[in-house]
Structure 1
Amino acid sequence: MEEKEVMELLRYYRHDVMNDLQIVQAYTSMGKLEKVEEKLADYLSRFDEERKLMNLNAPNLALWLIPFNSIHPNFRFTYTILGEKINLADIDGKLTTNCEYCIRHLEKITSETELYEGEVVLEYFPDLNQVKVRLSLDGSFHDINNDSKRINKNITQQQSGNHVTLTVIIPRNRKGEEKCL
């Protein structure tokens, strides 16, 4: 990553943190301490998920996901990392590439003028030795059927009504490296 890209990432991150702090400050000035407590709990939870994301040893995935909401104006994703002390260095590029592919796919079936809210859940299944990332999104979609389909060898799509879930599965071999399919 170039210095210019790092500075841009820090700019986005700082902007988001400042917005969050301004919300807390506004609630404090209005004397709405229960709202302040609620917002602080939400922020602490987000920072905990961010810590888990950064501890995955998957810098490309983290650098893609952390500034995501600032870069994509009509998507708002929260993310959850299920599990701790998972080293994904060996499949970092593959995970990031597949998640980026999912977003390009979602951009084709969403409207640029609508705000979509969703969640990204990353989970490692040691018994299967695979990593699963689910990108779930709610909103109004076009060109959607209520069924499931395979997008590529690693990605499936399930949809029903105003909900779409793209699931990325990356298998690993016993040494923790990606399996060849």
Structure 2
Amino acid sequence: MTFLKGLSRPVRLAGFALIGVALVALVIGTMTAMNGGSSQTAAPPASDTTQPSTGSELPPTSSPAPASPPANGATSPAGPPTQPPAQSAPANPGADQEQAKWVPVRVYNNSTITGLAARAADNFRSDGWNVAESGNYPYGIIPHSTAYFTPGTDEETAAKALAAAFGMRAEPRFEGIENSSPGVIVIVTNDFQGKGKD
């Protein structure tokens, strides 16, 4: 250590002391990093609780509605569907509708009309549908009132029956909601009229 040779003894001792403190801090920092900071409490997992009409219905892990056309044929928030709508008229709408009413329905408002999701949820309930919650969908712009479903499940039958009964579209879930709670997800927009209104 020739660079310390020309310094006075107290300055050299202070230099060694600082180097020692730095080494101790390095050891403590390394141990903390290796242990993951065990003195800190882990964040609680995101809850799956439902809160009717609070505006925080969909989990924060869901991403906004896609900006580019989704590959599954769902309607893009920026324009018309990239493929023909996934909705198909059931052969016997009354029978399908009655058989599918047990499937949970979650209703979200994506309009400029305050309370539209609650009004739509009341319409669905009065028609016998199993409405689990209602609230707001602030993650993008959905151009038309749509009942979203997971393909190949009971949700598909329920969404198509609900859409036929209330004059909406029925489409597969898009990327932002594909992992949300089970059931039909209805996102209502300014075009929602309710049953029997065209």
TM-score, with normalisation over the residues of structure 2? Answer: 0.25
Higher helix share: 1
- The structure showing larger relative contact order (alpha-carbon pairs under 8 Å, at least 6 residues apart) is 2
- Bigger proportion of residues as strand: 1
| Bigger Rg, which one | 2
TM-score by length of 1: 0.27
